[in-house]
A and B are shown apart, each in its own frame.
Chain A
C-alpha cells in the first residue's frame, strides 16, 4: 500500500551484506513542520494576533491579577450560597447523568445491542450530546426550563451522560462475553443476563469514571451561572464587570479551596476502588 508521500520522497533502501534489504521510509517530519508553520501563520492573521499589543498592554493583565491576589473576605458571605449551589448542581447532575449512562451505554454497545438501527440512533444521539459545548446546552436549557439551577443541573446531567457513556461503551465492547452467553443459555432475559454477568465486570471502572466526572463537572458548573443557569458564574461575571477585582479574588479563592477538597477526595476514593 503506497501512499502519495512515499511516491514523492522515496524510501531509502538499505542493503546488508547478507543480501537482505530493508526499507526506511523518509521522515514525515519536514512536512509536518511545514504544515504547522503554515497553519500558525494563517491563524495569526485570522485572529489578529499581535505580540506588540501584548507588550504594550500586557501589564493590564497583571494589574488585575494583583488585585485578585488580595481577596476581600468581607465579601465571602455573598459567596457561600452560589458556591454551594454550584456544587449541588454538580452532584445532582452527575448522579442523574451517571445513572442514565448505564442503560444508555448498553444501547451503544455493539456486542449487546445487536439491533443495528437502535445502535445507529444511539450513537448519533451520543455524538450530538458530546459535541455540544456545555454552555450551549445550558443556554438552551434556560430557554426551556427558566433561569436558575434546574437548567444548570439538566446541562450537567447531559454532559455527564455523554462523557460516562462514551467511556463505558468502549469498555463494554471489550468485556468477556462468556458469562453473558451462559446466562442467556440458562434462560435469563437480556437485561438480567447483563446485570448478573457483565455488570460485575464493569462496576469498578464505572464507579471510577463517575467519580472522575464529579471532579470535572464542579469546575464546569462554575461557568454555567454566566448564562443564568445557577451557581457562582453569575456572581463572578457581575463582579468582573463591576471591576471589583478584590471580590473576584475572594470568589476564586473559595472556589479553589472547594475544588481542591473535592478533587483530592475523589482521587482518594478512586485509588481505593482500583
Chain B
C-alpha cells in the first residue's frame, strides 16, 4: 500500500468525535420520550370512525354546506373570518408601540428586558386559556374569540416586529444623515419604509394563523366553527362534520394563497 496514501488516510478529520455524542443524546431523548407514549391500541370502532369521517367528507351535508342560516358553513366561516380579522387588527395596533419598546436599538436596556419577558409570558399561555378567561368577561361567543385572538396576535406580532426593528439597516439612515436630513425626515424616509412593509407582511402572516386558531377557539365556546365541529363529532354526525371540515379547509387554503401572494408582492415590491 502506497505509504503516501496511507498517511493521507490517517489525516482524515475524525467526524465520529462529535457524531457519536450527538447520536447518543438524541437516542436518550427519544427513549425517554417514548416512555410516555402508551399505545392503547386502536379503539374498537376506530377504523370504522376513520372511514366514517372520510365518508362524511365525500358526502357532506349540503344543507349546511350551502345554506345561509345560523348553522350553516358559510355563516360560520364568516364569523370565524371576522374573529380572525378583528383580532388581527386590534393585535396589530397594540403591537406597534410594544414592538418598539422591546427593540434593543430603540428602548433602554431595562425596558427591553422587561418587555421581552412579558412577551414570552404572553406567548406561552395557550390560546384556550385566554379564551376561558375572556369568557368570564364577555360571555361565551365570538366577542371572547376576538379578545383572545388580539392577545395572542400581540404576542407573536411583537416578537416578529421587534426582530424587524432590530435588523434595521443603519446604512440608509446614515446616508440620509449625510444628506442633511432632520430627525423627522430620517424617520419618515429611512426608517418607516423598511418597517412598514415588514410589519404588514407579519400582520398578514398572523391573519393566516389566526384563521386556523379561530376555528379552534370554538372548542372552548369562543365562537367560530370549532364549537359546532366538536358538537357534531361527539354526536357522530359525520355528514355535518364533513361539511364543516370541507368549509374549513377551503377557507384556510384560500386565505393562505392570498396571504402568500400578498406577502411576496410586499417583499419584491
Are A and B in direct contact (Cβ within 8 Å)?
yes
Q: Which of B37, B142, B146, B229 contacts A88 (CB 8 A)?
A: B37
Is A133 a contact partner of B29 (Cβ separation < 8 A)?
no
Is B143 a contact partner of A149 (Cβ separation < 8 A)?
no
Contact with A along B232-251 (1 / 0, CB 8 A): 01000000000001001100
The CA-CA distance from A134 to B141 in the complex, in Å, is 21
Interface residues of A (CB under 8 A from B): 36, 39-40, 42-44, 46-50, 53-54, 57-58, 60-61, 64-65, 84-85, 87-89, 91-92, 95, 127-128, 131-136, 139-140, 143-150, 153, 219, 222-223, 226-227, 230, 233, 236-237, 240-241, 248, 252, 255-256, 259-260, 263
Is A140 a contact partner of B213 (Cβ separation < 8 A)?
no
B10 an interface residue at 8 Å Cβ cutoff? no
Instruction: For chain B, give the interface size range.
Output: 35 or more
B113 an interface residue at 8 Å Cβ cutoff? no
The CA-CA distance from A61 to B47 in the complex, in Å, is 43
Q: Which of A53, A58, A64, A132 contacts B249 (CB 8 A)?
A: A132
Is A47 a contact partner of B43 (Cβ separation < 8 A)?
no
Is A144 a contact partner of B136 (Cβ separation < 8 A)?
no
**Residues of chain A within 8 A of B85, CB atoms compared:** 39-40, 43
Known: A47-B142, A143-B43, A146-B40. A131 touches B256 (CB 8 A): yes
**Residues of chain B within 8 A of A42, CB atoms compared:** 82
Is B143 a contact partner of A43 (Cβ separation < 8 A)?
no
The CA-CA distance from A136 to B219 in the complex, in Å, is 10
A-B pairs with beta carbons under 8 Å apart, 6 shown: A60-B136, A91-B30, A127-B249, A140-B50, A146-B42, A237-B128
**Residues of chain B within 8 A of A252, CB atoms compared:** 124-125, 129
Known: A40-B86, A95-B30. A149 touches B137 (CB 8 A): no
The CA-CA distance from A89 to B127 in the complex, in Å, is 19
Is B233 a contact partner of A219 (Cβ separation < 8 A)?
no
Which 8 residue pairs across A and B have the least CB separation, nearest first?
Answer: A43-B82, A47-B142, A88-B36, A146-B40, A88-B33, A131-B252, A46-B82, A144-B46
Within 8 A of A (CB), among B56-101: 78-79, 81-83, 85-86, 89
**Residues of chain A within 8 A of B133, CB atoms compared:** 61, 64-65, 240
Q: Which of B47, B132, B138 contacts A53 (CB 8 A)?
A: B138
**Residues of chain A within 8 A of B78, CB atoms compared:** 46
Q: Which of B43, B146, B213 contacts A49 (CB 8 A)?
A: B146
**Residues of chain A within 8 A of B49, CB atoms compared:** 143-144
Q: Which of A57, A64, A139, A144 contacts B233 (CB 8 A)?
A: A139
Is B136 a contact partner of A64 (Cβ separation < 8 A)?
yes
**Residues of chain A within 8 A of B33, CB atoms compared:** 87-89, 91-92, 95
A167 CB to nearest chain B CB (Å)? 13
B16 an interface residue at 8 Å Cβ cutoff? no
**Residues of chain A within 8 A of B136, CB atoms compared:** 57, 60-61, 64
Is A145 a contact partner of B46 (Cβ separation < 8 A)?
yes
A247 CB to nearest chain B CB (Å)? 13
Is A149 a contact partner of B37 (Cβ separation < 8 A)?
yes
Which one of A39, A48, A65, A136 has the highest number of Cβ atoms from chain B below 10 Å of its Cβ? Answer: A136
Is A150 a contact partner of B127 (Cβ separation < 8 A)?
no
The CA-CA distance from A231 to B30 in the complex, in Å, is 17
**Residues of chain A within 8 A of B269, CB atoms compared:** none
**A92-B34, A150-B38 given. 4 additional CB < 8 A pairs?**
A47-B145, A146-B43, A147-B40, A263-B120
Is A236 a contact partner of B89 (Cβ separation < 8 A)?
no
**Residues of chain A within 8 A of B89, CB atoms compared:** 36, 40
The CA-CA distance from A60 to B151 in the complex, in Å, is 16
Known: A48-B143, A144-B46, A240-B132. A57 touches B86 (CB 8 A): no
Which residue of the partner chain A has the closest CB to B41?
Answer: A146
The CA-CA distance from A57 to B144 in the complex, in Å, is 12
B35 an interface residue at 8 Å Cβ cutoff? yes
Is B120 a contact partner of A259 (Cβ separation < 8 A)?
yes
Is A227 a contact partner of B219 (Cβ separation < 8 A)?
yes
Is B123 a contact partner of A219 (Cβ separation < 8 A)?
yes
Is A136 a contact partner of B43 (Cβ separation < 8 A)?
no
Known: A47-B145, A57-B138, A143-B49. A89 touches B37 (CB 8 A): yes
The CA-CA distance from A114 to B234 in the complex, in Å, is 43
The CA-CA distance from A39 to B220 in the complex, in Å, is 25
Which residue of the partner chain B has the closest CB to A143?
Answer: B49
Known: A91-B33, A133-B215, A153-B37. A44 touches B86 (CB 8 A): yes
Which residue of the partner chain B has the closest CB to A231?
Answer: B36
Is B36 a contact partner of A46 (Cβ separation < 8 A)?
no
The CA-CA distance from A91 to B253 in the complex, in Å, is 28
The CA-CA distance from A61 to B78 in the complex, in Å, is 27
A273 CB to nearest chain B CB (Å)? 12
The CA-CA distance from A60 to B134 in the complex, in Å, is 8
Is A54 a contact partner of B36 (Cβ separation < 8 A)?
no
Which one of A84, A226, A255, A259 has the highest number of Cβ atoms from chain B below 10 Å of its Cβ? Answer: A226
